[in-house]
Amino acid sequence: MYKPNDKRYDSMKYLRCGNSGILLPRISLGLWHNFGSVDRFENTANMIHTAFDAGITHFDLANNYGPVRGSAEENFGLVMEKDMRPFRDEMLISTKAGYEMWEGPYGNFGSRKYLISSIDQSLKRMKLDYVDIFYHHRPDPDTPLEETMEALSDIVRSGKALYVGISNYNSEQTRRAAEILKANHTPLLLNQVSYSMINRWTENDGLQETCREVGAGMICFSPLAQGILTDRYLNGVPEDSRAKRSIFLDEEWLVPELIDKLNKLNDLACERGQTLAEMALAWILRKDKVTSVLIGASRPQQILTNIKFLDKLDFSDDELESIDKLLEPFISLTPPM
């Protein structure tokens, strides 16, 4: 029988999400990888327990997380049913819809039919009556934004979600979505986007400022750039690394010049008393520009290791300048989508 840590809220830090009443943990757990049907369920459960024991209250999913699609939600539902049900009111659970989920013309993008069908399916898989946050996962170039946002508003009004979010929306799209949602009396809670030391499109786009202006928070995924901003590649590309087997990280990106810069970044992190990954995560949350950062994990110990960075979120001007100079040739200022 799982019994949570009595001191789980002692060390975690929380920040108000936009203009809402919600406090998000500065670290949230993303179930994108390593929580699907191909993964060991005992490890999945242990990672969820470990996160909750550390004060991580926010668990982020999507309808198509796996593999196979939907299996991360199914496994999460099994953990909820077995261990976490007594603590549901302490948890923020989010899911999303927008990418391909089932065959045919109604299992993708942003139509009202897809979104409402998707939330119903997600709730069944997770064995929940409602989620705390339901996101539209990506902009739909063909469906009117009014239709998509009205569907999100109706999902809240139906009691199937408490708040709405958007993901991968740029500054202009965020502003328009927020205006429609405000008119629907369902304010935009937050935007979930990719952001890291290397991937800085949100800064170039002005998205962080837009989120503040419309009263929304920002939560970021891929803060370690699929593992590039860790010590994994300081000596080249290991045969068992993600760069060798994942569609999300191309080995060709890891050119010798980048590896050299990563080693210099690692030296700077060591001077700060951090690992490269810890420094990269701290950089995301510097000056409270971002509400929360989503971390992934393949084993419980990674979660415990990653949260150590919360003890040192401050950077000197010289440190920030050094990071910028080292990474300047590799920084992406265009959205990944």
Instruction: Give dist(CA 126, CA 243) in Å, integer.
Output: 31
Instruction: Take residue 36 and report the two structure tokens written for it.
Output: 């699907």
Instruction: Take residue 153 and report the two structure tokens written for it.
Output: 């508003």
Counted domains in the chain: 1
How many other CB atoms are there within 10 angstroms of residue 206's CB atom?
A: 15
pLDDT attached to residue 246: 54
pLDDT attached to residue 334: 80
**Identity of the residue numbered 186:** T
Give residues with Cβ within 8 angstroms of 188, minimum separation 6: 18, 164, 165, 166, 174, 177, 178, 181, 182, 214, 215, 216
What pTM was estimated for this model as a whole? Answer: 0.94
pLDDT attached to residue 254: 73
Residue 99 lies in a domain: yes
pLDDT attached to residue 238: 56
pLDDT in tens, 26-71: 999 999 999 999 999 999 999 999 999 999 999 999 999 999 999 9
Apex 189 CA angle, 186 and 195, nearest 5? 145
CA-wise closest residue to 286 among 314, 321, 320: 314
Instruction: Take residue 331 and report the two structure tokens written for it.
Output: 């920084």
The phi-psi region of residue 128 (left if phi > 0; otherwise alpha if psi is between -120 and 50; otherwise beta) is beta
pLDDT attached to residue 336: 66
pLDDT attached to residue 153: 98
With tokens 């994990």, the residue in question is 297
Instruction: Give dist(CA 297, CA 289) in Å, integer.
Output: 24
How many other CB atoms are there within 10 angstroms of residue 165's CB atom?
A: 27
pLDDT in tens, 265-280: 999 999 999 999 999 9
Residue 50 lies in a domain: yes
**Identity of the residue numbered 278:** E
pLDDT attached to residue 244: 44
Instruction: Give dist(CA 162, CA 166) in Å, integer.
Output: 14
Q: Which residues of the chain have pLDDT under 70?
A: 236-252, 336-337
Residue 219 lies in a domain: yes
Residue 9, SS3 per DSSP? coil
Distance of CA 222 to the CA centre of its chain: 7
Residue 1 lies in a domain: no
DSSP letter (8 states) at residue 165? E
What are the strands, taking DSSP E only, across 203-265?
217-221
pLDDT attached to residue 233: 80
Residue 255 lies in a domain: yes
> The CATH number of the domain where 225 resides is what?
3.20.20.100
Residue 299 lies in a domain: yes
Q: Is the Cβ–Cβ distance between 181 and 154 less than 8 Å?
A: no
Instruction: Tell me the backbone φ, ψ of residue 65, rounded to 5 degrees.
Output: -70, 140
In the beta sheet, which residues pair with residue 220? Answer: 193, 293
Instruction: Take residue 83 and report the two structure tokens written for it.
Output: 């261990």
Q: Is the Cβ–Cβ distance between 104 and 97 less than 8 Å?
A: no
pLDDT attached to residue 243: 45
CA-wise closest residue to 281 among 306, 303, 311, 264: 306
Q: Is the Cβ–Cβ distance between 324 and 283 less than 8 Å?
A: no
Residue 335 lies in a domain: no
**Structural domain range at position 141:** 14-330
Residue 92, SS3 per DSSP? strand
pLDDT attached to residue 226: 84
DSSP string, 239-280: TTSHHHH-TTS-GGG--HHHHHHHHHHHHHHHHTTS-HHHHH
Residue 115 lies in a domain: yes
Instruction: Give dist(CA 226, CA 141) in Å, integer.
Output: 27
